[in-house]
Amino acid sequence: MKPYKHKVQYYETDQMGIVHHSNYIRWFEEARTDYMEQMGLGYDQMEEKGILSPVLSVEADYLRMVHFGETVTIETFVKEYNGIKLTVGYEVISDKTQMVHCRGITRHCFINREGKPLALKQTCLEFHNMFVKGLEDHKNK
């Protein structure tokens, strides 16, 4: 899997040129979307099958500042998956320092268009297997 790269834009920073904390959450989503596409099945394909995956919660630990003009690499991985809920992990690594500047997770569930919970193993084995493989890949690192 190729990690997601992001160059910090001016509008993402405050008056001191430091990335505003809210942008990390956006970067998590960008990286998660890219990760799923690289795994072979993106959100667009999931939604075509009538499966939605809302965010239940987000956590971010801000360890170091990132500044305007820097490029970060966002390592994305399946941290937990049980067929009904998914936890995706993120590490935002500065290309300049090679240090982790932020760690985070997003928690998701799966629902149909009517908002009823779904078990992917029963609803769409293709997506279920993709997340199981992602979890196994992460555990074997």
Q: Report the C-alpha gap between 43 and 39 in whole angstroms.
A: 11
* CA 2 to chain centroid: 13
Going through 1-141 in order, the beta strands assigned E by DSSP cover: 4-7, 55-62, 71-81, 85-94, 100-109
| Catalytic-role residue among 14, 61, 95, 137 | 14
CB 60 within 8 A of CB 66: no
List, in order, residues 6 or more apart from 11 with CB less than 8 Å away: none
Judge whether 14 counts as a catalytic residue. Answer: yes
Q: Report the C-alpha gap between 76 and 133 in whole angstroms.
A: 14
Residues acting as catalytic residues: 14
